[in-house]
Structure 1
Amino acid sequence: MKPFLLLATRAEDRPADEEYGLFLRYTGLAPDDLVRIRLEAGPMPAIDLDAISGVFVGGGPFNASDPIAKKSAVQQRVEAEFAELLDRVVARDFPFLGACYGIGTVGAHLGATIDGTYREPISIVPVTLTDAGMDDPLLAGMPRTFEAFVGHKEAISALPPAAMLLASSPDCPVQMFRVGANVYATQFHPELDVDGITTRIHAYADHGYFAVGDLQPTLEAVRRAPVSHPSRILRRFVERYAR
């Protein structure tokens, strides 16, 4: 099998390594079949799309909507690299699944409106599939509404015509969309479980995802309901696109 890629941007080793472990667990892939590239650590290498099965993008602290003056040199490099990669991915309709930061990369590439209007605190939210989502092959077998982990300071407030809306939540209208037949992005985190999001809550406690003093309420918020369905999307992506 040609490997899948995981493009990652987390600078902190523990959440970065745990993210990779979660993608391995829920895709069912072995390490040799899911090659991680940590973009915060160095330039994106040349990626031959003919040599891989598909691309995953994890979450991270970068915000596409930040003013250019607030973006580090690393973030600006990563954004430029994603722009070049997505030119090829979208043109070829190549299998791609971006989670959280991944939705910002694809959204920015399409010219979507991305801002803080629909930010969501770290929590569990009900995500509901649209009619198009119910008919989408990647989401086959998913319930119409399912619980998912979220936590983001920006979101897409207006999708361009090229994108098909697949899922929404009460406080965030764009939770998942598709471009073409094979390019997907989610605002929620399909890779997370309770242990994984707990690690991130502690790792990013001073990054503005929740107010000072709200650590314990935030930890409690991610335990209020079981979350089991989103990870099925990762396994389904592998089953559909492995070649």
Structure 2
Amino acid sequence: MKPVLIIQNDAKEGAGQLSTLIAERGLGQETVFGYDADYGKLAADDYGALVVLGGAQSAYETGEYPYLTDEIALCHDFMQAGKPIAGFCLGAQILARALGGEVSPGATKEIGWYDLVLSEAAADDAILETHPKTLLAYHFHGDRIENVPGAVNLASSDITDCQLFRYGSNVYGFQYHAEVDQPLVEVMCRNNADYMASNGFDAEAIIAEGQRNLPTFAEACKGVLNRWLDLVMVRGTA
């Protein structure tokens, strides 16, 4: 089985629960830092799937962070090879841009615990089979995704219209953080406590909310991520 390639865009924020589930499947995983990767050596044919994680960067800041252009191109390569892709937060925005969609600053930050509501289209989606219609979910973003050509919008929140989209049958962009476990929530909040405070959010309060809310959220996301990994097992080995 070919390994899963994970692009990590923050030095401290890994793949959380998703990394654990990949290991439980017996799949290899190779993690590289997006800002320090040798993209010339990252060939889609060498991997079973691609995961692109979040970070403080914005997907439209390619002038300030030129490697984001490389990440966009990498998404193209994996799509052309028919390999499964999952993008989370910034990763979803990079994936949206790779598909010709728009990413722009939102009217307000969405940080902490907010309801995620599935769309009607989600009823027929392969990885959302047992997902509740409404789920209190963990978010950490200020940008929004819009107008992704050919994509199906699968979920929204009161603040963000596009929280989850699918392109084709095995490419998914998660604006919310379906990959988190409790350690990752704590790292994300404490690593960004000053930024959160400057926008009116209390890092420790959100961590405490996570201790109450994460078990239900993580269990629902575990089902979703495992079904995405089912796609990887079937389609990502060629």
Matches within 5 A, 1:200-211: 200-208=188-196, 211=199
**Among candidates 181, 199, 202, match of residue 193 of structure 1:** 181
* Residues paired across the two proteins, number: 231
Deviations 1:72-112 (A, max 9, x none): xxx21x21212321222333442101011111101122232
Q: Is this contact kept in 2: 1:122–1:210, CA < 8 A?
A: no
Contact 1:122 1:151 in 2 (8 A): yes
- The correspondence for 1:135, drawn from 102, 111, 124, is 124
Q: Deviations for 1:196-226, whole angstroms, at most 9, x for unmatched residues?
A: 2112110112335753783343334434534
Once the two structures are aligned, what percentage of the paired residues are identical? 23
Quote the Cα distance in structure 2 between the aligned partners of 1:27 and 1:131.
Answer: 29
RMSD (Å), alpha carbons: 2.5
Distance 1:32 1:89, change over 3 A: closer
Give yes or no for contact 1:189–1:230 (8 Å, CA) kept in 2. no
1:112 aligns with 2:107: no
For 1:240, give the aligned amino acid: L
2:62 corresponds to 1:62: no
CA 1:190/1:118 → structure 2, altered by over 3 Å: closer, same or farther? farther
Specify the alignment match of 2:149 in structure 1. 161
1:26-41 equivalence runs, <5 A:
26-29=21-24, 33-41=28-36
Secondary structure, aligned partner of 2:111? strand
CA distance in 2, matches of 1:170, 1:149: 14
1:103 to 79, 87, 92: 92
Deviations 1:165-212 (A, max 9, x none): 111112111000011222111001111123321121101123357537
Q: TM-score, normalised by structure 1?
A: 0.83
SS in 2 for 1:126: strand
Q: 5 Å matches for 1:157-236?
A: 158-208=146-196, 211=199, 214-223=202-211, 225-226=213-214, 227-228=217-218, 229-236=220-227
Counterparts of 2:101 and 2:16, CA distance in 1: 31
Q: Give CA deviations for 1:1-31 in whole Å, capped at 9, x if unaligned.
A: 22111111113xxx33xx2453321334478
SS at match of 2:161: strand
Which AA in structure 1 matches 2:125?
A: D
Runs (5+) with no aligned partner, structure 1: none
Q: Secondary structure at the match of 1:225?
A: helix
C-alpha spacing 1:102/1:45, structure 2 compared with 1 (3 Å): same
1:241 and 2:236 correspond? no
SS, match of residue 162 in structure 2: strand
Gaps of 5+ in 2: none
**Aligned equivalents of 1:213 and 1:145: distance in 2?**
23
